[in-house]
């Protein structure tokens, strides 16, 4: 084999940070590869050290990290891993961040505020990343913050297939927990062919993370109501929305969201809520104490593995999606581009 031929041989290498080893190992198992052995150290002053224990020269590197709390630690760890790969002559570096960090800080609402989602994209680029892969970005414009390719995957088909298999669609209503998530509701309605309703609510400007639910717009009496969102953080909004639906006569209330942030008292709120079931994915790790009976966790690993394989094969990530996936993607792009 000539030197030129050796240079043309591609090899995929999978790297994983320490935040969500279960997801990384599941992706590796589906791909039929091993996670590259890596030495991690967190020094007494909280600085992070990383060293890969085998050569990465010329590889197609995929670096998986879940940005759960503490977000800054896991973001910094992933950036250090990317920098180490670049300095060790990896050919291409894709950061795989199922839940994009700082995604909710995607624009300025007032003067002297940062656009932190753009800063994160710049940090990835400066570290040496050539591509980003993520799931259900909080806002579509985040794709434009990175100058290289961004593979935007969608959790909706996975969640919707589960709902369709378990719940009758003839009395199902898709509900937006607030006006800001109507686009997500439209996507679900298009996918399942069900009517929609909207919770009209107002946040209390004097108290953080509290809302006052006002009214339900749409017919929910005697219906199974599916509250949908891209994430559940403290659980305040979605639990109050669920209570409003029951007060308006809903027969059953279920919830679905891609990202289970579940910070603060979220689990206690969900456990005490009127929800019959809340369906999420494993884009973020959940410790055993958060795996309550009401919570159903679906694995996003097959989707990530397919996308990683498609990128490595230099195929079309869009082509690997089923017609259902593509319909969700096209609708998301359409409603995002039409928004002010």
Report the DSSP pairing between strands 196-203 and 211-217.
antiparallel
Q: By the 8 A CB rule, do 243 and 235 touch?
A: no
Beta bridge pairs of residue 139: none
Q: Which helix (H) or strand (E) holds 331?
A: helix 323-338
Contacts of 166 (CB under 8 A, 6+ apart): none
**What is the set of active-site residues?**
201
User: Coil, helix or strand for 107?
Assistant: coil
Handedness of CA 211, 212, 218, 220 (dihedral sign): positive
Q: By the 8 A CB rule, do 294 and 276 touch?
A: yes
CA distance 51 to 65: 16
Locate tokens 């609708």: which residue?
A: 331
CA distance 12 to 307: 13
């Amino acid at each position: 084999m000539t030197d030129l031929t050796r240079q043309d041989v591609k090899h995929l290498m999978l790297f994983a940070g320490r935040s969500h080893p279960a997801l990384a190992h599941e992706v590796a198992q589906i791909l039929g590869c091993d996670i590259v052995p890596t030495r991690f150290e967190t020094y007494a002053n909280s600085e992070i050290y990383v060293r890969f224990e085998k050569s990465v020269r010329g590889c197609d590197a995929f670096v998986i990290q879940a940005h759960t709390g503490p977000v800054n630690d896991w973001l910094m760890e992933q950036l250090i891993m990317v920098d180490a790969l670049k300095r060790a002559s990896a050919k291409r570096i894709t950061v795989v961040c199922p839940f994009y960090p700082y995604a909710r800080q995607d624009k300025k609402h007032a003067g002297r505020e940062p656009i932190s989602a753009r800063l994160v994209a710049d940090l990835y680029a400066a570290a040496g990343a050539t591509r980003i892969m993520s799931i259900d970005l909080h806002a579509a414009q985040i794709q434009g913050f990175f100058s290289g390719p961004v593979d935007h995957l969608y959790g909706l088909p996975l969640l919707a297939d589960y709902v369709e298999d378990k719940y009758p669609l003839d009395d199902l209503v898709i509900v937006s927990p607030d006006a800001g998530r109507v686009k997500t509701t439209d996507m679900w309605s298009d996918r399942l062919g069900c009517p929609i309703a909207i919770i009209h609510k107002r946040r209390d400007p004097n108290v953080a993370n509290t809302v006052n639910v006002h009214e339900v717009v749409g017919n929910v009496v005697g219906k199974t109501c599916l509250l949908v969102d891209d994430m559940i953080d403290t659980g305040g909004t979605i639990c109050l929305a669920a209570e409003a639906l029951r007060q308006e006569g809903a027969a059953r209330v279920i919830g679905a969201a891609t990202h289970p942030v579940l910070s603060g008292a979220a689990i206690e709120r969900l456990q005490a809520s009127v929800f019959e079931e809340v369906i999420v994915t494993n884009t973020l790790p959940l410790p055993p104490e958060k795996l309550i009976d009401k919570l159903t966790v679906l694995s996003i690993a097959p989707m990530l593995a397919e996308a990683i394989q498609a990128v490595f094969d230099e195929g079309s990530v869009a082509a690997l999606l089923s017609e259902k996936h593509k319909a969700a993607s096209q609708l998301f792009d359409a409603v995002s581009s039409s928004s002010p």
